[in-house]
Amino acid sequence: MIIAVDGPAGAGKSTVCKLLAKQLGYVYLDTGAMYRAVAWALSQNSIPLDAGNSLEEKLPFLPLRFALKNNGLQVTYQGQVLEEELRSPRMAQQASQVSRHKAVRLFLTEWQRQLASTGDVVAEGRDMTTVVFPHAPVKVFLTADLRTRAQRRHAEYTAKGRHVDYSEVELQMQKRDEEDSQRALAPLRPAPDAFVLNTGGLDIHTALSRLMEHIAEKTGGSEGTDSKTIGNIH
């Protein structure tokens, strides 16, 4: 079973998808982390992010591995688990850069499909519903206005002790929106049959409840519609 979720940065995808996966007993697949990992690995090997077609030959030889462990994605580089290394604003921008290259998208799409074939997953990203899992039985597109999304991301950085100017966060997010939606390859957009949910003004309980109701409708089940969760969308 695959629940595919797309949407721009700050729409609440990570928060909602983690809780959704936990409630359903699924594995949470954060594909955005996979693009950040590729960007990080290329930088470690002094390979330009705009290397283009030459990346096709280099990617398979990077000491980068992906696995599903503890109900989530584990990224390792030379056997070392990568976590906070992938979460900086700089890595988010570099992930957007490498995502434009066909070789990178094909490389990671293969990995993503392979990982999802091992069990039930909630797959979060920007082309899950349109490219990677076009036949997923449940497709969701989460969105919110730019200001709301930038405020969430700024609060997230602040909570982690990263002092980033709010205006810079909003500017980078706006730039990422434009790059993701205007790129020729796998642009960010809702699949025609996706359930579109605007999370602006919604608390996490309401957003999660609406998704659970939609999943129940799509799958013919009713389990989990009474979601009880505490927190805010980040």
What Cα–Cα distance (Å) separates residue 199 from each residue in 25, 47, 149, 210? Answer: 23, 38, 9, 10
226 three-class SS: coil
- Section 31-36 average pLDDT: 94
Q: Could you report the per-residue pLDDT of 157-173, keeping only the tens digit for each?
A: 888 888 889 999 999 89
Q: What gap in Å lies between CA 160 and CA 87, rounded to an integer?
A: 10
* Confidence at residue 3, expressed as pLDDT on a 0 to 100 scale: 97
What is the structure's pLDDT at 187?
87
**Using CA atoms, how far apart are residues 134 and 9, in angstroms rounded to an integer?**
21
pLDDT (0 to 100) of residue 149: 94
Q: 2-201, superfamily in CATH?
A: P-loop containing nucleotide triphosphate hydrolases (3.40.50.300)
How far apart CA 232 and CA 234 sit, in angstroms, is: 6
> Binning pLDDT at 50, 70 and 90, where does residue 182 land?
confident
The residues spanned by each domain of the chain are: 2-201
Q: Which long-range contacts (CB under 8 A, 24 or more apart) does 209-218 make?
A: 211/16, 211/20, 211/140, 212/20, 212/23, 214/138, 214/140, 215/3, 215/24, 215/138, 218/137, 218/138
Look up residue 80 and give its two tokens: 């070392």
pLDDT for 139 equals 97
Closest by CA position to 32, among listed 78, 79, 73: 73
What is the per-residue pLDDT for 54?
83
Burial class (CB in 10 A: 0-12, 13-18, 19+), 135: exposed
Residue 23 confidence class, pLDDT cut points 50, 70, 90: very high
Residue type, 11: A
Residues 86 and 15: their CA atoms lie apart, in Å, by 17
What local confidence, expressed as pLDDT, does residue 223 receive?
43
Task: Write out pLDDT tens, residues 103-116.
Answer: 999 999 999 999 99
Query: What's the pLDDT score for residue 110?
Result: 96
DSSP 85: G
8 pLDDT more than 90: yes
Residues facing residue 28 across a β-bridge: 122
Q: Is the pLDDT of residue 26 over 60?
A: yes
Q: What are the structure tokens assigned to 128, written together?
A: 């899950």
Q: How far apart are CA 209 and CA 226, in angstroms?
A: 7
